[in-house]
Amino acid sequence: MIWKENRENAYCEITPAILSLKEQWEKKNYIDPRLYKEYNVKRGLRNEDGRGVLTGLTRVAEIQSYNVTADEHILPADGILYYRGIDCRELVTGSAARGRFAFEEAAYLLLFGELPTSEQLRDFCVQLASYRTLPTNFFRDVIMKAPPRDLMNTMQRAILTLFCYDDKPNDIGLENVLRQCLQLMSNMPVLAIYAYQAWRYSQGESLFIHVPLPELSTAENFLRMLREDRGYTDLEARVLDVALVLHADHGGGNNSTFTNHVVTSSGTDTYSAIAAAMASLKGPRHGGANNKVMAMMDDIKTHVKDWSDEGCVADYLTKMLNKDAFDRSGLIYGLGHAVYTRSDPRCEVFREYVHHLAAEKGRERELALYTSVETIGKQLLMERQHKAALSTNIDFYSGFVYEMLGLPMELYTPLFAVARISGWSAHRMEELSAGGKLIRPRYECVEEHRSYTPMEKR
């Protein structure tokens, strides 16, 4: 077999031999779910009440989502997300009051533990702008090579390739790692947009590449590089900036950040650690939730004839919960959260900007449908799950916002990475300075011991 340039490769076929081997694998690899309780294994590193298993300490970020009584009962509470001890919502409101963008300020806070002075923030932005460049011919030689529709893979490949352009790639001294993290943080939006443009070009679309401007914020540059006319409104940039702030970190235990901690603890290089975090974020259970919300809402728009009729909306949501509609998963995507109980603070602060943007774009009717699905869906879920409270995940609205901003769905998860690398960088620095041990949890083996059987007796 040989590889073909059109990717119609025999290597990619699921052959009868592969199917046979898969059946062979299934015979000896089933683990009875009851064994997890028998061995007291915390699946997903969570206790039965939903609380995460404590695996480390951090100063970077904290989530508060419930109260615990003296007799260990969980009481739902309004969620709070702290960056270095500061409510992330205050970063948004504090910057908005002064007419400036907040993401760079949030990134500085996550990395260095203090809010920057105006001079420190200016110098930090200048530093980031000076790093916002790729090696000569990098776009042609790396990004444009066989671009897949899933841009996260293109970005991972680019990040790993940047290792080859670094004179000190394996140096894990804090000053060198900080330099690498700042450079990757600067270039993540460039990699995301260029990966998208390369994929578009591979599909027969026109190719246009805009270089970022040093005087613009991350949000402004993202929109400028994406659009052929380089244009954007102030509200569009503000809304995108808020989205970046709210996605910059989510505590040390989220899947991609924990992956970053685990890989960093091995002593590997920055490029490998960030690429590993990207691989985790790519997963639909982590970074792709807003895509599911968008697909669900498109389905609701198609099947609910009168969006203003709450009865019609409730009937269709009930069908979804009964696994008779949409993807038959029994889920209403975007409602409920693995951590937050009563409210997701990111969604609460984002909601105001959603309304402003919907008004500017003339999308109030669709926003009303989102509000109806949120209200009715939460009520139906609370009744079925016997819960007194249920949070609306930020993913419920973020996809709608990105669509109103004209962002293609292929960029939703890469945009998440553009924001989250600031948190990953802070956690990598913390793990290198304070971790000191290889993270290696234990898995209980439930396979019976047996003797080796000679070939002729098998």
Pick the catalytic residue from 286, 303, 315, 355.
286
From the CB of residue 100, how many other CB atoms can be counted at a distance below 10 Å? 15
Pick the catalytic residue from 241, 250, 395, 427.
395
Specify whether the CB–CB gap between 404 and 37 falls below 8 A.
Answer: no
Phi/psi at 205 (nearest 5 deg)? -85, 165
Is 386 an active-site residue?
Answer: no
d(CA 182, CA 127): 8
Is 286 an active-site residue?
Answer: yes
Residues 6+ apart with CB under 8 A from 95: 101, 102, 105
8-state DSSP, 339: S
Q: What angle do CA 309, 312, 314 make, to 5 degrees?
A: 105
Q: Classify residue 1 as exposed, middle or buried by CB count within 10 Å of its CB (0-12, 13-18, 19+).
A: exposed
Pick the catalytic residue from 247, 250, 337, 427.
337
The CA-atom distances, in angstroms, between 63 and each of 59, 79, 185, 305, 397 are 12, 7, 23, 40, 20
Q: Classify residue 175 as exposed, middle or buried by CB count within 10 Å of its CB (0-12, 13-18, 19+).
A: exposed
Is 337 an active-site residue?
Answer: yes
Tokens of 37: 């309780």
User: Which one, of 68, 35, 38, lies nearest residue 52 by Cα?
Assistant: 68
The CA-atom distances, in angstroms, between 452 and each of 28, 449, 457 are 16, 10, 10
Catalytically active residues, by annotation: 286, 337, 395
